Amino acid sequence: MVTRQGTLNKTELVRGGKKQKKSWTPTFVVLTNRNLFLYKDINSAQEKPPGKSAELQINLAGAVIDWSPEKSKRRNVFQLSTTAGQKVLLQDDNVQTSKEWFDTISAAIRRLPNGLGLVMGWRPEDIPSSVPEESPSHQSAPQPPPEATPPQATSSKWGKKPSRSKSIKQHQQAARSPPLSCDAAASALDSGGGGPPSPQERKNRIRDKLRHFFVRRPTLESLQEKGIFKDEPVFGCNLAHLCERDRSSVPRFVRECILEIERRDMTADGLYRASGNLSQVQKVRCHVNQDDYSVLALEEDIHVLTGALKMFFRHMKEPLFPFNLFNKVLRAVGQPTRAARLAAFRDLLGELPRQNYDTLKYLLRHLLRVTEHSDQNRMHVQNLAIVFGPTLLSSGEEPRNLALDMMQQNQIIEFLLLEYSFLFL
């Protein structure tokens, strides 16, 4: 039964456990008692059978809905997360329309039993009950008193002989109750005097286990809050914590990796632009996270080392220019004269934390050494700025104009390299 329908804007964040590229598109939304269907337009929604031409079908059982203004710059955004791993953002510019949709979907979710949602392609109605329902004649027939019913020939595992009426009563209760968990279903079969479970019953138990796993598993954010899921020791951790552990204002990995790169052939074509073997880069990452820095000297491919260094800066919690300084940096590079730009950048560099300033200075000095061999490696200042611009600078938000942001990021790194002697010496 259709509860509500209309047009909203949507973008998928996660589908099947995989992150999706954020792209807002209008969609015609149809809400039923247990599903949310998203169609390309209203004409697609009118095709038969219902749901056939839906771009996305969301089972609401066990789903979570909440307002998510931090996920997008758009107004009135709310997120719908399902037990199957889907995450979808929905919004309308009209605050009342968004609120009505939010309330209607919330009410539909509350009416559904938790955990009966779509999990890995199967539906609850496809799962036969582990204990068959009684026929209508059995359900309506009066039950004989326990003492008038002859005992069953088989005994339970405890050595007692349950009466037939007791067994029938247990079966009726099981048929009326929600699907049992794996352990509870096994217990019911044992008490009913049955033999080993059939293949279908074993499949049901596996499905029950999968269902409870996906419904009850915690989110990544909750694991991080509880301290169960922790940051990597080197890659992707907080720069201040890493420098404190290394007892240096420049991380040990940055120093040793750059030292090893400069020992090699700096004339290699496309240094930093060419990509190294990703599996080898991940191998370096794994060893460094285990405090094994000898892997840097053992690695023969210089492009693997440059790839590992780029990965380190790309995976930092915050770029070397923190998020709160991003707009100031853009204003600084947009100053009309060179003198004004230099003054603005000197002020900005003074606002950087010590470890950010020293690490940035160390990296830029190394990149200038790379440009000394630009006749052979073809890595001029402009090329290095293109490589490191998006890595060292980010707003932390979804870009409004990706091309413009990248151009500005490149200009900033290029300016820092060209004016290094005035800004850092």
Q: Whole-model pTM? A: 0.50
pLDDT confidence of residue 143: 44
Query: Range with the lowest mean pLDDT among 216-225, 245-254, 359-368, 387-396?
Result: 216-225
When pLDDT is averaged across residues 367-384 and rounded to a whole number, the result is 95
Contact status, residue 115 vs residue 83, Cβ threshold 8 Å: yes
Higher-pLDDT residue of 286 and 84 is 286
pLDDT in tens, 288-306: 999 999 999 999 999 999 9
pLDDT in tens, 196-209: 677 888 888 888 88
- Coil vs helix vs strand at 78: strand
In this structure, how many other beta carbons lie within 10 angstroms of the beta carbon of residue 126?
A: 8
The per-residue pLDDT of the chain, averaged, comes to 80
Distances (CA, A) of 380 to 77, 235, 413: 44, 28, 12
When pLDDT is averaged across residues 219-244 and rounded to a whole number, the result is 80
Among candidate residues 175, 165, 185, the one with its CA nearest the CA of residue 136: 175
User: Does position 229 have pLDDT exceeding 80, yes or no?
Assistant: no
Tokens in use for 50? 């219902």
User: Does position 96 have pLDDT exceeding 60, yes or no?
Assistant: yes
Residue recorded with tokens 């329908």: 5
Highest mean pLDDT: which range of 51-60, 294-303, 389-398: 294-303
pLDDT confidence of residue 305: 96
Residue recorded with tokens 């609401």: 60
Amino acid at 424: F
CATH architecture of 239-424: Orthogonal Bundle (1.10)
**Alpha carbon distance 388, 309 (integer Å):** 11
Confidence of residue 116 (pLDDT cuts 50, 70, 90): very low
Confidence of residue 146 (pLDDT cuts 50, 70, 90): very low
Q: What is the CATH number of domain 2-111?
A: 2.30.29.30
Confidence of residue 126 (pLDDT cuts 50, 70, 90): very low
- Supply the DSSP string of 347-366, one letter for each residue: HHHHHS-HHHHHHHHHHHHH
Highest mean pLDDT: which range of 68-82, 133-147, 385-399: 68-82
When pLDDT is averaged across residues 71-84 and rounded to a whole number, the result is 89
**Alpha carbon distance 419, 339 (integer Å):** 11
**Alpha carbon distance 143, 139 (integer Å):** 9
Confidence of residue 47 (pLDDT cuts 50, 70, 90): confident
In this structure, how many other beta carbons lie within 10 angstroms of the beta carbon of residue 383?
A: 20
Domain ranges of the chain: 2-111, 162-230, 239-424
pLDDT confidence of residue 140: 39
Higher-pLDDT residue of 301 and 112 is 301
User: Does position 386 have pLDDT exceeding 90, yes or no?
Assistant: yes
Confidence of residue 76 (pLDDT cuts 50, 70, 90): very high
User: Does position 123 have pLDDT exceeding 50, yes or no?
Assistant: no
Residue recorded with tokens 């850092």: 424
Helices 381-392, 302-314: axis angle to 10 degrees equals 40
Confidence of residue 416 (pLDDT cuts 50, 70, 90): very high
Please state, for a pLDDT cut of 90, what percent of the chain lies above it. 45
Query: Range with the lowest mean pLDDT among 38-42, 62-66, 126-130, 178-182?
Result: 126-130
